[in-house]
């Protein structure tokens, strides 16, 4: 259904095409990235910078691919330090509502525990983003309270990852 791949240099063109294709769709629920983000030269420089952060272990970026290898989403672990990171994701309009985000978050929780040695993940979303809240709750994230996100009411989540690899190996 969905394949999660670690972000690589050769993903740049597909990621830019995905972001352009879904710009208006994403802007309905999250702040727009601005015109500069979508300019090829600036995007290429940003992509290289993300890969450098990933090489340092500060962040872990991933693309989501469908069965035919098309990029349909992104999922990232940012600010990985002290055993914790924040998860963020976006799924393109063509794949929305098909369980892609739920499957991707589940897969990245497993990677976070096993490949990246993280022990907890956090996430935030706006209160009115019911789809994102459902994705997190289906993946065993628990609410830790309300906060403001870019001037909008939001909610914070947390998920402990200890024992994730062990529990999966017993299933």
Question: Of all residues in the chain, what percent carry a pLDDT higher than 90?
Answer: 83
Give residue-wise pLDDT tens across range 102-133.
999 999 999 999 999 999 999 999 998 999 99
Nearest-Å Rg of the Cα atoms of the chain is 16
Range of the domain at 34: 3-170
Number of domains in the chain: 1
- Using CA atoms, how far apart are residues 105 and 50, in angstroms rounded to an integer? 20
Q: How does strand 120-126 pair with strand 84-91?
A: parallel
CATH code assigned at 91: 3.40.630.30
pTM over 0.85: yes
What is the band of 35 on the pLDDT scale with cuts at 50, 70, 90? Answer: confident
What 3-state DSSP class applies to 28? coil
Q: What is the mean pLDDT of the chain?
A: 92
């Amino acid at each position: 259904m969905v394949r999660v791949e670690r972000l690589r240099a050769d993903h740049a063109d597909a990621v830019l095409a995905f972001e352009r294709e879904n710009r208006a769709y994403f802007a309905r629920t999250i702040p727009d990235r601005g015109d500069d983000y979508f300019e090829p030269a600036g995007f290429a420089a940003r992509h290289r910078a993300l890969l450098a952060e990933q090489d340092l272990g500060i962040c872990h970026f991933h693309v989501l691919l469908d069965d035919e290898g098309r990029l349909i989403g992104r999922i990232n672990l940012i600010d990985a330090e002290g055993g914790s990171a924040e998860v963020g994701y976006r799924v393109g309009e063509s794949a929305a509502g098909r369980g892609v985000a739920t499957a991707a978050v589940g897969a990245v929780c497993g990677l976070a525990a096993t490949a990246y040695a993280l022990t907890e993940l956090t996430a935030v979303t706006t209160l009115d983003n019911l789809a994102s809240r459902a994705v997190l709750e289906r993946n065993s994230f628990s609410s830790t309270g309300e906060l403001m996100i870019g001037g909008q009411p939001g909610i914070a989540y947390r998920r402990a990852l200890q024992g994730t690899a062990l529990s999966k190996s017993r299933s």
